Amino acid sequence: MTPSKAQLGWSLIVLVWLPMVAVLIWGRGGILDLIELKKQVQGLESEVKALQQENGALKADVNRLQTDPSSYEAPARERFFLKKPGEAVLYLPQPGQKAPAPSPKGQDQKETQHPTAPPAPNAPPPAQP
């Protein structure tokens, strides 16, 4: 029995074209790979856009820090416990943090008095040289 032209045509489709279509869809560099690569490109483009925005914000911060001393003065003073001349600074404990217990006078601290201040009441007279 000899195959007809229709049977040869279907055999050609099954043996040649079907594997080629399968390779185009599932093979390396096929349509599924192309779709995955497009998703990766979109993700990377959005990441680049976010990084460009962050870079712009950081450049603005650098410019502000280089031109405006008040932008770094307050954080530096708070971080390093600095003060301006003639300024009194009071540091309070953070919420939930215990304040250190004051030490009794005469043990760790000496009571000091300004040299021009009047003597404290009931204080012993200063020693005579």
Asked if residue 71 belongs to a domain, the reply is yes
User: Which residue range(s) make up the domain with 52?
Assistant: 29-81
Q: For residue 107, is it within any domain?
A: no
Q: How far apart are CA 27 and CA 22, in angstroms?
A: 7
**pLDDT above 70 for 60:** yes
What is the distance between the alpha carbons of residues 87 and 92, in angstroms, rounded to a whole number?
16
Give the residue among 90, 126, 123 at the shortest CA–CA distance from 105. 123
* Average pLDDT, integer, range 92-115: 61
Number of folded domains that form the chain: 1
Taking the model in full, what pTM does it have? 0.47
H-type alpha helices, the chain: 5-12, 18-26, 31-67, 70-80
Residue 28 vs residue 52, higher pLDDT: 52
Q: Is residue 7 part of a domain?
A: no
Let me know: does 37 contact 45? Beta carbons within 8 Å. no
Question: What pLDDT, on a 0 to 100 scale, did the predictor assign at position 111?
Answer: 46
